[in-house]
Amino acid sequence: MARVVVLGGGVSGHTAATFLKDWLGSQHEVVVVTPNSKWNWIPSNIWVGVGKMKKEDVTFELAPVYGKAGIDYRQAKALSINPEGSKDEEKPFVTIEYTGQGKAGETENLTYDYLINATGPKLNFGATEGLGPDNGYTVSVCTADHAIHANEELQKSIAKMKAGEKQTIVVGTGHGMCTCQGAAFEYIFNIEYELNKAGVRDKAELIWLTNESFLGDFGMGGMHVHRGGYIASSKVFAESLYAEKDIEWILGTHVTKIEPGKIHFETLDGETDTQEFDFSMLIPPFGGVGLKAYDKEGGDITDKVFAPNGFMKVDADYTPKPYEEWKASDWPKTLQNPDYKNMFAVGIAFAPPHLISKPMKNPNGTPINPTPPRTGMPSAMMGKAVAESIRDMITGKAQEPTHTACMSEMGAACVASAGSGFFDGMAVSMTVYPVVPDYEKYPGTGRDLSCTTGEIGLAGHWIKLFLHYAFIWKAKLKPLWKIIPE
């Protein structure tokens, strides 16, 4: 009997674990280690953040789902990995610390035959003084609880506007090295929609503050789409949308500090500036969750296993290269760790070889550029591909990974909500292929324009709503869950 341990029960880890258990049956063990008792459909948090959904609409208890599937569920967080075992334990193991199940604080060494690291991001609010809801002055929609708090603060702002007070609302990125601009984009457009509904749009100044050097970069270096017989860039697309909704933008910013009501930032041209706010949601930078790694003798090999940003190294080409030499083939395919072949990293947990957007620094030497997004669809596809490889290796079909999920070979679809009304809602629906541009295969834009599309309208909102229910249905392993695509 082989044991596969999956660290993280989010989008990629849950996908990997549920498929693996389904394929391997009772002959092999699948263990999920994840600190929360609830699964969260994170993309719908933005609707919690404007009061359109409740926490119960975007979360569910994991224990019954894993119980039904026969997955061994540990409500715990991983602390460290011993990929060579230790003096006392021959097999590789991961040290976990329970956060629930009546064992909070207890630690355990969990041996494994295969390990999937799907721990997602550390929300690094600490990187910017005053950022975030816990020790700072801005709100967040990155977790369901954060989103509940964001909505409470938003409603206070709306009440003030109803009483005739003007409010400045700033949404965007809280550091020069943030990713996930899409989430902030969705949030500012949903706020704009809600302010209109509340009849107070004229009382609000809406400002988009971003580390992108141009609107519509989204951490992917932007994209181009075929529209009405010509090719339009996402810059034109995004600028038209922001202009239409009367949202101002401040580009190329690295937020250095936040005080009550005031954001301090540097810009790409090296200037420093401030922006006042009454309500602000700024995305934090992401890092790895801080797992350590040790060799058999107990020596610290964290630097060998993880990149400096804390994400796990996989089969990417991490040789430092200038931007001009970046290649689509630098990106990992099998997501297998190069040193420990029974260890994989998927979703946000793997270390990208480099940015996708063009790297930029201001004259003070401060890097200001979006870091690579790893959105839900690619994350789930990676989870499934790694599960397929591990299944084939456990069942003796192969010695090496059999499946790949490479961001420079896969496409992604993303539906970004811009207002949640059933009859007057709106969403931007985008497909992009490949996610990481391949300039050798697709000279010019780096992408296959026949598969790269962008549309905006009410139908997109219906799709977004349908996906909300479909993905929660799938994650709950309800009938036909396997045929719902990632």
Ligand X SMILES: Cc1cc2nc3c(=O)[nH]c(=O)nc-3n(C[C@H](O)[C@H](O)[C@H](O)COP(=O)(O)OP(=O)(O)OC[C@H]3O[C@@H](n4cnc5c(N)ncnc54)[C@H](O)[C@@H]3O)c2cc1C
Binding residues for ligand X, per CB under 6 A?
7-13, 33-36, 42-43, 45-46, 77-78, 118-120, 141-142, 180, 182-183, 289, 347-349, 374-377, 379, 414
Q: Shortest gap between Cβ of 267 and ligand X (angstroms)?
A: 25
Q: 30 or 200: whose CB is closer to ligand X?
A: 30
255 vs 435, beta carbon nearer ligand X: 435
Nearest approach, Cβ of residue 138 and ligand X (Å):
14
Judge contact between 75 and 38, C-beta under 8 A. Answer: no
With respect to ligand X, which residue has the nearer C-beta, 323 or 469?
Answer: 469
Pick the closer one to ligand X by CB: 203 or 433. Answer: 433
Tokens representing 383 are 């989870």
3-state secondary structure of 199: coil
User: Shortest distance, CB of residue 180 to ligand X, whole angstroms?
Assistant: 5
Name the closest residue to ligand X (Cβ): 10
CB 224 within 8 A of CB 217: no
CB 140 to ligand X: min, Å: 8
Put residue 90 in one of left, alpha, beta given phi > 0 → left and psi -120 to 50 → alpha: alpha
Query: 261: left (phi > 0), else alpha (psi -120 to 50), else beta?
Result: left
Nearest to 109 by CA among 121, 124, 93, 122: 93
Closest distance to ligand X from the beta carbon of 75 (Å): 10
CB 429 within 8 A of CB 454: yes
Nearer to ligand X by C-beta: 78 or 158?
A: 78
- Smallest gap from Cβ 346 to ligand X, in A, equals 7
Provide the token pair at 24.
Answer: 């391997």
Q: Residue 154 is encoded by which pair of tokens?
A: 């938003």
Q: How far is the CB of 38 from ligand X (least distance, A)?
A: 9
- Provide Rg for the chain, Cα atoms: 22
Nearer to ligand X among residue 362 and residue 371 (C-beta): 371
Cβ neighbours, 10 Å, residue 485? 12
Our CB check for ligand X shows the closer of 8 and 425 to be 8
Q: Which is nearer to ligand X, 394 or 415 (CB)?
A: 415
Minimum distance between the CB of residue 101 and ligand X, rounded to whole angstroms?
14
For residues 393 and 41, what is the distance between their CA atoms, to the nearest angstrom? 31
Structure tokens at 33: 């280690």
- The answer to whether residues 354 and 321 touch, using CB atoms and an 8 Å cutoff, is yes
Q: Is the sign of the CA dihedral 244, 246, 249, 255 positive or negative?
A: negative
